Structure 1
Amino acid sequence: MEPSTSISGSIRVLHVDDEPDLADLVATYLERKDERLTVETASTVADALARLDEMDIDCVISDYEMPGQNGLEFLEAVRTDRPDFPFILFTGKGSEEIASDAISAGVTDYLQKERGIEQYTILANRVINAVERARAEQAEQRQLRAIETAHEGISILNAAGEFIYVNEAYADLYGYDLEEMLGAHWSLIYPDEDTQAIRETILPAVRTNGFWRGETTGLRADGTTFVEDHRLATTDHGELVCTVLDTTEQRRQKQAIEELHSTARAFIQAETAEEVAEIAVAAVRDILEMPANGFHRYDETDDRLVPVTWTDRTEELVGEPPVFESGEGIAWTAFAMGEPQVHDDISTNDDRYNPDTPIRSQLALPLDGRGVHLIGSPEPAAFDETDVSLAKTVAAHATAALERVEREQELTRQNDRLATFTDIVSHDLRNPLTVAIGRLELAQDTCDCPYLADVDQALTRTETLLDDLHAFAQAGTATLDLKSVDLTTLCQASWEHVETGTATLVTDTQQVIRADESRLQELLENLFSNAVEHGGDAVTVTVGDLKDGIYIADDGPGIADADKDAVFDYGYSTSQDGTGFGLSIVREIADVHGWELRLTDSDAGCARFEICNVETEGM
């Protein structure tokens, strides 16, 4: 699927990564994925913070491991002044601990760097979704402020504390007619236990300062109470102007939004569509206090909406939710139109699925072609604007989560298909290749044909390609058998498995690291083989320690600057006999361990491969 297009206008992104080339690469792909995205880059946290102060930025993408301050420290600095600012952690250093710390620190989203360009489509979608949610919440806040101003109750008291003016909104707040309040004392609308505090604390503060604002408890005519945002100000004539707003609904909305933030983190961690559905239904039931709701997913094969999960209250009202065939009911209308359907009384709606349903109010929220979330109530006009707004927020979170799950599942399927294909190719070709090699040996024993040497060379190269193809496909699989590995011992074993001639190995390391031993040995063998292939029998290969990893360097001819960006690409080789898989396998093995692989120059200007972010014994 293409990135969401539900928001308009440009989106300026700040990508922070201490590797400028990688930052530029990500910027290029994101801008290609969606024309609304404009990406600025920064290489340090300090530079990034300065950019945020100087520019209008809509979203931050940050690496985790950076010099000076890491990604989580950057996040904490941003959250100090921008608690709701979209911030996505995009890092090659992935672990459950880092993900947990990022979520606890309030990260908007967390994405681990992978190989391939598919990840940039996912990243672009997450940026757009994060900005969409942030802009929607900002719009909701602006709308809320406008509603507060329009619905404020205003009254004026004389010096004796009696109402000489009351507007309609003020009288409605307390459940009185205007005439009932005019001339009455202000104590009419406050509980007896609160009037003393008002006399002794609030009124003296108003007389001293000319103004007071705070929360008080209002008493309605029917005896119920509510928390009110109360502002008092004196006039030049000694009168007291009272402005009151019932904050009950705003408190409920604020609390719901805060709780939905934690639900958003749960959506990020969901791994299946069923988990997304369960999170959405529970959020609407428990946070929005809408007990009758259910989640339908679209079945593309049969062209229908199938119930996935629903609440007990839903089943009490309508039984097990039905399957909606194409064109049936309000649910299908919302799904097909892609627009929310809000009905105060569906008993008068000819599109309702069941004419005898006890449901009167209904919300049908589409999920961008993936299904529909249905919310109902047996009471007419049960959902106000706040209810609808909050429900739409849940639906937006669910839609984004479903899209992410689909993409991740598709990537998994692609990887599985690649592995299956590679196994079939390598295994099914192995037998006829073995037969061909055997027949060639017989032919060489029985006749002296000059063309047989070319055949021998071609078959040998084919066998090498099959071995490297299978190794490359297996290198990136995610299943690792991690254990403590003594690097010196493994280096010696790896060296013995490579045709090194008279080349020399120097192991200047004391590291014991956590790794999959067989994969690490394959990585070392490929690096050793690469050094000998390009440096010859006289080359010396040195393995040494880094602060957070190891390096493998040689004193051979080195690698030209023009080739450094391409050496890890599969198929790249400067040797006529090379398959181009060796260093690609090294990269895949490093990636699946979560290690950072760098190609640099040694002090002598020769090739030096650095493997960082390695977990060592005792760390």
Structure 2
Amino acid sequence: MTSQPPSGPDGTVSDRLESTSIRSRQTATIRVCCVGFDGAERGIPAELRDCEGDTELTVRTVESSAAVLESLAAVDCVVTEADLGETTGLDLLRSIRDRDPKFPVLMLTGAGSEALASRAISAGITDYVPRGDGTENAVDVSDRIEAAVDQYRSELDARRTYAALETAQEGISLLDENGKFTYVNQVYADNYGYDREEMLGRHWEILYPADETDQVHEEILPEVHEEGHWRGQTTGLRADGTTFPEQHSLTEIEDGGLVCVVRDISERKERKRDLELFRTLLDHSTDSVFVFDPETGTPLDVNDTACRELGYSREELLDRSVIDFEAEFTGRDDWRSFVDDLRADGQTTFDGVHRRRDGATFPVEVNATYVELDRGYVLSMARDVTERRRRERQLRESEQRYRTLAEYFPNGIVTLFDHDLEYTLAAGRGFDDIPVEPADLEGANFYDVWPAATADGLVPAVLGTLEGEERSVELSYAGREWILHAVPITDERGDVFAGMTMAQDITERKEYQRRLEETIDRLEESNERLEQFAYAASHDLQEPLRMVSSYLQLIERRYADAFDEDGEEFLAYAIDGADRMREMIDALLTYSRVETRGEPLAAVDLDAVIADVREDLRLPIAESDAEVTVDSLPRVRGDSSQLRQVFQNLLSNAIEYSGDEPPRVHVSAERESADAASAARGSGRWIVSISDEGLGIDPEDQERIFEVFERLHSRGEYDGTGIGLALCQRIVERHDGEIRVDSTPGEGATFSVVLPAVDDA
């Protein structure tokens, strides 16, 4: 809570009510209208004038009830006789009650008029006075008049006070001496989120947080009891538990109770915060902001940036004139002329020059606006464009260099453009092939030059360039095919100040590429037919070959004794040739089925694959006393069955071609380096290597060994069909991989299989 001095008569409702009560007490005269009494200025009317008392009575006499009704607004009380001749006092009473149910009316009658008195009371008479003689009767009437008017005035003041309380914009409540609510108006109840009725009889402590309650008891209430009033800010607690800031005043009344007046100032606090935020943002703006007096050119307000840019403190700058720091204005006449034009146009932008306190100048771009509020103001925002001017100068210088190069750019077009997408340079021999001249581009905006369809294709590249990105896009224009490269132009700090495009005519290249793709398609079709032929041929050759082999074996069993030594040798050659032919046909059949009989590629655990291969080769490993070591291997994307064929072939070769020493074979894996090529393939690749210390392979033979039916050794030296490595290569290529060998004769060989990695993310 914060304390403030109490307000004056204009500050709170309680102040206004107090002044109203003062005005009421100052009205001490009672104006009496008497009707009847024969219209004479004697009797009761005269006696009332002569009565002495605390209140002065001014008495007037009228002759008719109509005259009473006409003067009713100018009097405070009516005294009437029961019989008024043309009417009665009761009829007059009813007419007055129709206008004001509480207006003081006294009736005088003679003795024995109890029935009349009863009817008068029923009709709402204020008081009934029996007529008497002498001064005592007049004093009695005077006292009753004064009592009736005082009561009427008190009730009227109460009604006015209640109306003021109910219609006040502030929340108002009354507390008894125990701090409990005896009255709250609707605004007060709404402020705290309660119904009016539920607040009555409850203690004020329900409306404040615990820490505020302690402060009220310890600081505020003692001040109220000592000074009679207190005014400040407190924190109100709503029924739903939320809080709000409030302006609060307390006034102590005679019975020890309190008048409480509160106003919710949440919006005012929010406006204050918004203004403070706006000021902070304004001071942190990179632009200098000024508010000028249109008549004198004196700054009325400036932000921190303006002070910093010009080298003045805020106080010093506010004591200057626009002429002191804006070189555009050489005198007050220049300023007044500028303001006249600005007042007519509303807003303008111009290039100016600001002068610092030390005399140095710098270029600025100024945006000025004339604002009419309680008076006229000139709002000016100035941006330091020193860097922009430097870049523009650099651009002009570089444009000349680029122009020289661009004019000789073969088979293409070069352009430069700024951040507004306005072309500053266009050249190149490619303009000979399109319906646009370099002069049509230079000085024109990007969107004004190209057709909508062409512009839509270029926009991402052009805008991306100004953001520092390099882009390429292919498009068709003027019956030609083009590839456009867009690159940013930067200064020595790396800031982009322009963009450049280089468009090359690739019509002939595209045509060549189309023909090449057609050729590839034809080759693929031819390869497919060859594969089908190889499969059919190898499959169809199986049957006659089986027949030849069967009959040769039958001859060997039945007629072996009929052959001499040469015949037996010839028969053995024939059987061996048939066996080798069957092996080659089986190998060729397997080779042709790599694409057609393979399983879909999936994640494969190479540790498990190599374990199966070692189990398959358990016998040759044992017979050759081979040592096979295996590192931890990765998961790859592949066909598990085909990869098993690959590694079984490679591991078997490593054991077979080991030379005279026991085979020593090592299987390892490493991740392929993340160069641009491998990054483009997504998850990257693994290189699995099978290394041995065997015979090795001559560099001249390292390509030939992957061809079908190619052998480096005779069958007398080593068995085999000559198709194993060709099959490995075919399988690896199906996996989008590679297979290669690194070997030196006599020092062993390393076969490396490159396979796609599995993305485990």
Q: TM-score, normalised by structure 1?
A: 0.38
Which structure is richer in relative contact order (CA contacts within 8 A, separation 6 or more)? 1
Q: TM-score, normalised by structure 2?
A: 0.32
Larger Rg: 2
